[in-house]
Structure 1
Amino acid sequence: MPHPGSEAVIAGLGEPPVGRLVGSNPTELHVEAAMLAIEDCGIDKHDIDGLMTSGTFLNDNIRHHMIIGEHLGLHCKTFCDTLRTGGQSYLNGLQIAKWAVESGQCKAVLMLRGDNILTGVPKGTGLKAYIEYGAHPIEFEVPFGITVPGVYAMMAQRHMHEFGTTPEQLAAIAVACRKHASLNPKAFKRDPITVDDVLASPLVSSPLRLLDCSPICDGAGAILVTSLERARDLKSKPVRILGTGQAQSYYHLAHLARATGARAEDKARFGLTRTVQSVAAEQAFGRAGVRPSDIDVAELYDSFTITVLMQLEDLGYCAKGEGGSFAEGGRIELGGELPVNTHGGLLSFGSSGGINHIIEAARQMRGEGGDRQVADAKLALATNVSAVASNHSIAILGRD
Structure 2
Amino acid sequence: MSSSLSGKAAIVGIGEFGYYRGTDQSILQMVLKASMDAIRDAGLKPSDIDGIIPPPGFVAWDEIGAHLGVPEIRYTACPQMGGASPVAGLINASMAIAAGLATTVLVPIGWNGYSALRPRPDARPNKRRFSAAFFETVKNYYAPYGLRSAPWWYALYLQRYVKHYNVPPEAAGAIAVACRKHAQLNDKALMRDRPLTMDEYLATPFITEPLRKGDCCVETDCAAAIVVTSAERARDLAHRPVMFLGGAEGHPNRPDELVNRTDMLKLGLDYAAPRAFAMAGVKPQDMDFLQVYDCFTYVALLELEALGYAERGGAADFVKDGKIELGGRYPLNTHGGLMSQGHCWGMNHIVEAVRQLRHDAGRAQVADCEIGLVTGYGDLGDGTIAILGRGA
Please report the TM-score for the alignment, with normalisation by the length of structure 1: 0.90
Contact 1:6/1:229, CA 8 A, preserved across alignment: no
Aligned to 1:367: 359
Task: Say how many residue pairs are matched.
Answer: 378
Structure 1 CA distance, aligned partners of 2:51 and 2:293?
26
- Is 1:67–2:63 an aligned residue pair? yes
Structure 2 CA distance, aligned partners of 1:377 and 1:160?
33
Aligned to 1:196: 199
**Structure 1 residue 275: Cα displacement:** 1.9
Supply the AA of the counterpart residue of 1:315: L
Aligned to 1:96: 92
Contact 2:176/2:215, CA 8 A, preserved across alignment: yes
1:1-400 correspondence to structure 2 within 5 Å: 7-56=8-57, 60=58, 64-123=60-119, 136=135, 137=137, 138-146=139-147, 147-190=149-192, 191-249=194-252, 250-256=255-261, 258=262, 271-388=263-380, 390-400=381-391
Structure 2 CA distance, aligned partners of 1:153 and 1:131?
24
**Structure 1 residue 5: Cα displacement:** 12
Name the SS of the counterpart of 2:228 in structure 1.
strand
**Structure 1 residue 130: Cα displacement:** 11
**Structure 1 residue 3: Cα displacement:** 9.5
**Structure 1 residue 228: Cα displacement:** 1.4
Supply the AA of the counterpart residue of 2:79: L
Name the SS of the counterpart of 2:266 in structure 1.
coil
Contact 1:19/1:188, CA 8 A, preserved across alignment: yes
Supply the AA of the counterpart residue of 1:252: E
Specify every segment of 5 or more residues in structure 1 that has no aligned partner in the other structure, as ranges.
259-270
Structure 2 CA distance, aligned partners of 1:20 and 1:273?
32
Please report the TM-score for the alignment, with normalisation by the length of structure 2: 0.91
Q: Deviations over 1:69-120 (max 9, x none)?
A: 1111113101123332111101111111001001110010000111122123
Aligned to 1:261: none
Structure 1 CA distance, aligned partners of 2:117 and 2:25?
12
Q: Deviations over 1:140-190 (max 9, x none)?
A: 222222231112223222122211101121111100000001111110112
Going from structure 1 to structure 2, the CA distance change for 1:334 and 1:2 (only over 3 Å counts) comes to: closer
The 10-residue stretch of structure 1 (311-320 or 141-150) with the greater mean CA deviation from structure 2: 141-150
Contact 1:66/1:80, CA 8 A, preserved across alignment: no
Contact 1:3/1:103, CA 8 A, preserved across alignment: no
Going from structure 1 to structure 2, the CA distance change for 1:70 and 1:315 (only over 3 Å counts) comes to: same
Structure 2 CA distance, aligned partners of 1:159 and 1:5?
35
**Structure 1 residue 121: Cα displacement:** 3.6
Going from structure 1 to structure 2, the CA distance change for 1:3 and 1:284 (only over 3 Å counts) comes to: closer
Going from structure 1 to structure 2, the CA distance change for 1:5 and 1:207 (only over 3 Å counts) comes to: closer
Going from structure 1 to structure 2, the CA distance change for 1:50 and 1:174 (only over 3 Å counts) comes to: same
Contact 2:5/2:94, CA 8 A, preserved across alignment: no
The 10-residue stretch of structure 1 (74-83 or 355-364) with the greater mean CA deviation from structure 2: 74-83
Q: Deviations over 1:212-232 (max 9, x none)?
A: 000101110111000111111
Structure 1 CA distance, aligned partners of 2:172 and 2:109?
29
The 10-residue stretch of structure 1 (144-153 or 347-356) with the greater mean CA deviation from structure 2: 144-153
**Structure 1 residue 203: Cα displacement:** 1.2
Specify every segment of 5 or more residues in structure 2 that has no aligned partner in the other structure, as ranges.
none
